[in-house]
Amino acid sequence: MSDLRRDFPAFDPAPDGATPTAYLDSAATSQRPRQVLDAERDYLERHLAPVHRGASAAVGLSTTIFEDARATVARFVGAGEREIVYAENATDAINMVALGIADASAALGGASARPLALEPGDEIVITEAEHHANLIPWQRLAAKTGAHLRAVRVDEHGLWTADDLAAELSDRTRIVAVAEVSNVTGYLAPVADVVSLAHARGALVVLDACQSVPHRPTDFGAMGVDFAAFSGHKMLGPNGIGVLYGRDELLDVLPPARTGGSTITRVTLETAEFLPSPHRFEAGTQPVSQAVALAEAVRYLEAIGMEHVARHESDLAARIVDGVAALPGVRIIGPGVGIERAGLVAVSVDGVHAHDVGQFLDDAGIVVRVGHHCAQPLHRALGITASTRASAHVYTTDDEVDRFVDALAGVRRFFGVADVPERAIIA
Ligand code: PMP
C-alpha cells in the first residue's frame, strides 16, 4: 500500500524534510488522490455544461458524463442506475428518506400508503449507537407521524446483537435504521440478520453505510436492504455529494423531499407530476463535477480491490487495539483484542479529557478526532462525554498507527494522572 501514498498530494514530503503529520481522521473525511482531483478539474476545464436541460451537444456530453458516473457508482454498490440518487451527503440522503416517508404518511406527493406511510402507534427502531444523522431524522419522523422511536440498547462496550434487535421489534415496526459500521465502536452490524428480522415483521431497512461503503465490498442488492446512504468525501471522493440508494419500486413511490426544476414531467399552476427515480429527487442544478470525481474515486478503490482495502484497515485496527490494550488507564471502546472490527478505534483515557488528548496528539503531529463524534447517546450509555478516535483508510501506514499508540502511552503521565508504581512512592 505504501506506493499509493504518492497518489495523494496531502502526503507529499515537506520541503524541509519535517516528519509528516499522521492523518488518522479518515472516518471524518478522507484524503483524495490526484486521479480524483484531476478528474474533477478536467471535467470543469473541458466539459462543463449543465445536464438534463437544453439541446446543445455540450449539454448532451455533460449529461452522458453525469449519468455514466451514476452507473459507475451503481455498479460499485450492487445497485441499478435508477436506484442511485445523488444527495449532498449521507445526512441529506437519510433525511430524504425520513422526510419522504413523512410526506407519504400525510398522503402528500402522490405516494401510495404501505409500505412507506406510517400511522400513529407504528414503530421506528434504531440503536443507541447511531450517528446523529441516523437518529434525529427518525425523531422528527416519529414526531410528525405519531410513531414511536425505539432504541436497541448497547452493552458496556457500545455493542449490540441481532438478539437485542429482535427484542425491540414488533408487528408495529415499520422501519429499522442502523449503521453497517459504527463510527465510534467500529462494530460491524449483523446486516443479514437485521434484514431478515426486519423483513419478517414487514419493516423496511435503512442502512447508514457511511463507514462501510468507503472501506469494504458492498452489494446492497444482495444484502436486501431497502434504503442506504453514504458520502463521497469519506471514500476518497469530493465534498458536496452523497448517495441515497433505494430499491427502485420504493423510490418510485417515495415523495421527493425537495421539489423544483429537473424533477418533473408536467407542471400546471396547481400541480406537478414527478419523473421516475432518480431524477424526481435531484431538484435544481446537479452536482456534476462532484459526480465525476466520485466515479473516479470508485474506479480508484476498485483498482485496489475492496477486499484488500478492508483487510488492510482491519489489520491496522487490530494493531491499534493490540497496542492500546497494553496501556494502563486507556479504555478501548467497541470490540476488544482479537475481535473483528472496521478500521477505526476510539479510546477513552482515564483522568484526561479527550480534547486534552487530542491537543497532546496534535502536538506530536497526529491528527485524530475528539469529542462525541455525533453520537451523544452512545457516549452517554458508556458513561463518558467524549472519546478520542483514530481512523484509517487505504493510505494509512503501520508507522502512523504506531505513532498514535506510542504517543497515547505518554498521555496520562504528561497530564499527571499516570498510576505511580508503588516502588516509586517508597523511594
Ligand atoms: N453516519 C455515520 C456512521 C457517519 O460516520 C457519518 C459521518 N461522520 C455520517 C452518518 C454523516 O455523514 P455526512 O456528514 O457526510 O453526511
Active-site residue 210, yes or no?
A: no
Whole-angstrom Cα distance, residue 26 to residue 32?
10
pLDDT at 33: 98
| Residue 103, amino acid | D
Q: Per the residue annotation, which of 162, 166, 264, 374 is the catalytic one?
A: 374
Residue in 96, 187, 211 to alter for ligand 1 test, most ligand atoms within 8 A of Cβ: 211
Instruction: Measure Cα distances from 80 to 45, 66, 73, 257, 287 in Å.
Output: 30, 15, 9, 21, 20
Any atom of ligand 1 within 6 Å of the Cβ of 178:
no
Would residue 110 be called left, alpha or beta, if left means φ above 0 and alpha means ψ between -120 and 50 degrees? Answer: left
Measuring from atom 3 of ligand 1, which residue has the nearest CA? 183
Residue pair 390/356 in contact (Cβ under 8 Å)? The answer is no
Closest atom of ligand 1 to CA, residue 234? 15
| Burial grade of 46 (CB within 10 A; 0-12, 13-18, 19 or more) | exposed
- Between 10 and 421, where is the model more confident? 10
Residue 56 cell numbers, joined:
446543445
Instruction: Tell me which of 112-121, 202-211, 259-268 is least confident.
Output: 112-121
Residue pair 26/309 in contact (Cβ under 8 Å)? The answer is no
Any atom of ligand 1 within 6 Å of the Cβ of 262:
no
For residue 133, report the distance from its CA to the centre of ligand 1, in Å.
6
- Residue with cell string 437485542: 164
Any atom of ligand 1 within 6 Å of the Cβ of 210:
yes
Do the bridges between strand 227-231 and strand 204-208 make them parallel or antiparallel, or are there none, so unpaired? parallel
Instruction: Tell me which of 24-28, 40-44, 49-53, 319-323 is least confident.
Output: 49-53
Any atom of ligand 1 within 6 Å of the Cβ of 91:
yes
Residue pair 275/111 in contact (Cβ under 8 Å)? The answer is no
pLDDT at 109: 52
β-bridge mates for residue 129, sequence order: none
Residue 422 cell numbers, joined:
508503588
Any atom of ligand 1 within 6 Å of the Cβ of 145:
no
Whole-angstrom Cα distance, residue 380 to residue 383?
5
| Residue 44 banded pLDDT, cuts 50, 70, 90 | very high
Whole-angstrom Cα distance, residue 181 to residue 342?
7
pLDDT at 1: 61
Q: List, in sequence order, every beta strand (DSSP E) within 300-368.
A: 330-333, 344-349, 366-367
Helix, strand, or coil here: 178?
strand
Element (H, E) at 370: strand 369-371
Any atom of ligand 1 within 6 Å of the Cβ of 134:
yes
Instruction: Measure Cα distances from 370 to 223, 344, 360, 367 in Å.
Output: 33, 13, 11, 10
| Residue 427 banded pLDDT, cuts 50, 70, 90 | very low
For residue 29, report the distance from its CA to the centre of ligand 1, in Å.
9
ipTM of the complex: 0.99
Whole-angstrom Cα distance, residue 273 to residue 179?
34
Percent of the chain whose pLDDT exceeds 70: 96
pTM: 0.96
Do the bridges between strand 173-179 and strand 204-208 make them parallel or antiparallel, or are there none, so unpaired? parallel
Residue pair 158/378 in contact (Cβ under 8 Å)? The answer is yes
For residue 233, report the distance from its CA to the centre of ligand 1, in Å.
10
Alpha-helical (H) ranges within 24-113 are 34-42, 57-76, 90-105
pLDDT at 55: 86
pLDDT at 425: 47
Instruction: Tell me which of 102-116, 200-214, 219-233 is least confident.
Output: 102-116
Residue 266 has pLDDT above 60, yes or no: yes
Residue 112 has pLDDT above 60, yes or no: no
Measured at the alpha carbon of residue 372, what is the angle toward residues 366 and 376, in degrees to the nearest 5? 170
Residue 419 has pLDDT above 80, yes or no: no
Any atom of ligand 1 within 6 Å of the Cβ of 228:
no
Q: List, in sequence order, every beta strand (DSSP E) within 201-293.
A: 204-208, 227-231, 242-246, 264-267, 272-274
pLDDT at 142: 98
pLDDT digits (tens, 9 = 90+) for 318-348: 999 999 999 999 999 999 999 999 999 999 9
Helix, strand, or coil here: 112?
coil
Any atom of ligand 1 within 6 Å of the Cβ of 215:
no
372-378 average pLDDT score: 96
| Residue 332, amino acid | I
| Residue 326, amino acid | A
Residue 240 has pLDDT above 80, yes or no: yes
Q: List, in sequence order, every beta strand (DSSP E) within 137-292.
A: 148-152, 173-179, 204-208, 227-231, 242-246, 264-267, 272-274
Tell how far CA 49 is from the center of its chain: 30
pLDDT at 17: 86
Q: Quick one: angle between helices 57-76 and 288-304, nearest 10? A: 40
Measuring from atom 14 of ligand 1, which residue has the nearest CA? 91
Count of alpha carbons within 13 angstroms of residue 219, beta-carbon side: 5
Residue 33 cell numbers, joined:
488522490
Whole-angstrom Cα distance, residue 386 to residue 373?
8
Whether the link from the prior residue into 278 is cis, omega within 30° of 0, is yes
Whole-angstrom Cα distance, residue 264 to residue 132?
32
Residue 382 has pLDDT above 70, yes or no: yes
Element (H, E) at 126: strand 123-127
For residue 87, report the distance from its CA to the centre of ligand 1, in Å.
13
Residue 175 cell numbers, joined:
422501519
pLDDT at 107: 76
Percent of the chain whose pLDDT exceeds 90: 92
Measuring from atom 5 of ligand 1, which residue has the nearest CA? 183
Residue 426 has pLDDT above 70, yes or no: no
5-32 average pLDDT score: 95
Contacts of 106 (CB under 8 A, 6+ apart): 144
The mean of the pLDDT values for the chain is 95
